[in-house]
Chain A
């Protein structure tokens, strides 16, 4: 029987390399492609008719659009309008990645720290660049809140710097930990079902409940990842 960590193994499907760097097309990349294709189909085929009174699929696509648009508007305001395509892509990509991972024998690319950290780093760098472009060196005020007594700078500035630079780590590790732990738990408890005979109904019942919970976590963590990105964007645009 496969161990609980085997589901996270990266298996190359086509060996490729570019300038000596390994860029093999792996199972991770395959599921990214599947997620991207599904998101694209969902957002385009459902809107093909562009009906005034939406059908079921069009309604669902519009709900996703308005959900992300409202999230952005509530957290960033109208200045965040031009980042909407990025935020939307991010949310859909992460959410589909998380949800596709719930299919048995599939692969959850969001359970990998490399993927999450790369996304988080792009967001972190992007937000920092936006901050400096809008506020110039004044953006450094992020590290020392307006109105605080100058004597507190010696404590506040290091704390603010640490909290600022820990953003990509917390963003990446939160998603990685949630996805990985959930999948390990499902696998371990699933292993008990066959092992203990008729008593296996108990872990099976537990497994059923946890599966429902994991679906919730899949959607929730995509939401958390996106809303934190929105909050960072808000800080970059409006400062504190």
Chain B
């Protein structure tokens, strides 16, 4: 087996050490620092970007909070305005209603008074007419002339009952 040919060992081992040493030098001084640097830079970039994103998010959150506060304030103000307007409208309405009610009740009481006057007139007319009719009826039926005063008394006695 060629592996056990001791005569070849020195040459193999010599070149192994030479080539391995050169490769070790190239890796440790040139290749690996470069890879490490690239990986480190990538890590740093990622962290920086994450930091930036976090800062932007904080800013956004602050802006949202501010916006929401402004919105709430505006809503409160609007509600206050609405309340005031509706209160004013309600008060005006109440005043108008009151005036109308007053006007209507005055009209009603006027009308009631007119009706009462008319009724009184009508009733007094009725009593007069009744005593007249009663007097004429009495004269025609029994030929007795009744005094107007007596007839009025009799009629008012019946009506008053």
Contact = CB atoms under 8 A, between A and B. Distances in A.
B19 interface: yes
B35 A8 contact: no
A180 B3 CA distance: 9
Contacts of B30: 44
A124 to B, nearest CB: 15
Interface stretch (B20-28, B88-96, B136-144): B20-28
A109 B36 CA distance: 30
B80 interface: no
A86 B29 CA distance: 11
Interface stretch (B10-18, B54-62, B104-112, B149-157): B10-18
Nearest to A112: B3
A74 interface: no
Interface string B95-107: 0000000000000
| Interface of chain A: mostly helix, strand, loop or mixed | helix
B161 interface: no
B41 interface: yes
Nearest to A9: B2
Contacts of B36: 65
A10 B15 CA distance: 13
Interface in A54-71: 54, 58, 61-62, 65-66
Q: Could you say which of A12, A33, A43 has the most chain B C-beta atoms within 10 Å of its C-beta? A: A43
Interface of A: 5, 8-10, 12, 16, 18, 21-26, 28-29, 32-33, 36, 39-40, 43-44, 47, 50-52, 54, 58, 61-62, 65-66, 84-86, 88-89, 92-93, 109, 111-115, 118-119, 176, 180
